[in-house]
Amino acid sequence: MGFHFYEPDPKMSAWRKEELRLRSEGVQKQDRPKPPEADANYPDKKTLALKLISNFVDLLPEICVRAVDADAFYCSKDFIAEATRITGQKQMISQIKKTQLINVGGKNIAVEKFFENATDTKTEELILRGSKKKVTYCSGRFKVKSHDRKYFIIALKYGDEKEYRYLIASDSSWRDVDIIKTYALRWLVEVFIQDWKSYEGWNQLAKQQGVDGSDRGVILSLLSDHALLLHQDQKVMFENKQPAATVASLRAKVIIESLQAFIAEIVLNKDPKSMFEKYSDKISQLFELRSSIKHLRRADMSFCSYNQET
């Protein structure tokens, strides 16, 4: 629905680099330079994320937001408060570190340590993102020390995973299974981005770097995604209320369809031989061989020679 690109503040990046160097040399904190003031021209990731949420609510007021999903990076007290305020609802679901302290019976204890001794663990199959998945979980309502407020906390692992992850939900009136199902939807963002990087011209296929290049890459990727949604086979699936085809499979099919159309045009031509030769020459011109550096051909190896007189 919207995009913002995070661009690091050059001054802050330079300060962090110097900070690491000085700390490694044992320079005391009072003798190290203070961090530069925040530059409004380089907003941080959390600020950009809140702006995206605000834009979504403003542009699509007819959509009722039930919850906000975010990974552990965004699990801060201020971010949760602002995200729920903007969307006008109580629920934000995220993750906390296993070392996070929770208050149990008046004592602060690491969340991992508490749940490893829990006796009411459940294991069942839940429908997550449209398919059954084995889930082991345990839950409870506890106060998180760093946030100074109570959350619904769930220790969760999928399948045969050995380690738990720990979800928190700001609205503790929800059932634990509903929180688990809702948080599972967050992974669709990762799938979406992976499709773009692998199949729709973003990331390594980008021809221009920087903010302008990123913007144009997003526009081209969106156009590609939209075109694939209009593919005839995809439309049939939508009309029959079937799951949509993956970007990878659609892209592969479009390539094959293009190849079939290319071959058909040659075969059905009155003079297929001359047409094939014409196209063959043009195709050959598109592909240029490049010299390989791994074979060290024509490389200066004189520094490896052995002087027998010496």
Q: How many helices (H) and strands (E) does the chain have?
A: 10, 8
Question: Which pLDDT score is estimated for 207?
Answer: 67
Using pLDDT thresholds of 50, 70 and 90, give the confidence band for residue 139.
Answer: very high
* 169 or 294, higher pLDDT: 169
Instruction: State how far the Cα of 171 lies from the Cα of 96, in Å rounded to an integer.
Output: 16
Pinpoint the residues of the chain covered by CATH 3.90.350.10. 66-184
Question: Which pLDDT score is estimated for 201?
Answer: 63
155 within 8 A of 115, measured Cβ to Cβ = yes
CA dihedral 268, 270, 271, 276 (to 10 degrees): -20
Using pLDDT thresholds of 50, 70 and 90, give the confidence band for residue 65.
Answer: very high
Cα of 187 vs its chain's centroid, Å? 8
Q: Which architecture does CATH list for 66-184?
A: Alpha-Beta Complex (3.90)
Kindly state the tokens that stand for 274: 């001359």
Percent of the chain whose predicted confidence (pLDDT) is above 90: 55
* Average pLDDT for the chain: 88
Is it the case that residue 37 has pLDDT exceeding 80?
yes
Q: Per-residue DSSP letters for 136-198?
A: EEEEEEEEETTTTEEEEEEEEEETT-SS-EEEEES-TTS-HHHHHHHHHTTHHHHHHHHHHHH
Task: Report the largest interatomic distance among the alpha carbons of the chain, rounded to a whole angstrom.
Answer: 89
Q: pLDDT tens for residues 238-283?
A: 899 888 888 888 888 988 998 899 899 989 999 989 888 888 888 8
Q: What is the pTM of this model?
A: 0.75
Is it the case that residue 308 has pLDDT exceeding 60?
no
Is it the case that residue 304 has pLDDT exceeding 70?
no
Question: Using alpha carbons only, what angle is made at residue 197 by residues 196 and 200, rounded to the nearest 5 degrees?
Answer: 45
Is it the case that residue 52 has pLDDT exceeding 90?
yes
Using pLDDT thresholds of 50, 70 and 90, give the confidence band for residue 310.
Answer: very low
Cβ-defined contacts of 30-33 (< 8 Å, 24+): none
Question: Which pLDDT score is estimated for 283?
Answer: 81
Percent of the chain whose predicted confidence (pLDDT) is above 70: 91
Instruction: State how far the Cα of 98 lies from the Cα of 115, in Å rounded to an integer.
Output: 10
Q: Say which DSSP state 77 is in.
A: H
* 296 or 218, higher pLDDT: 218
184 within 8 A of 128, measured Cβ to Cβ = yes
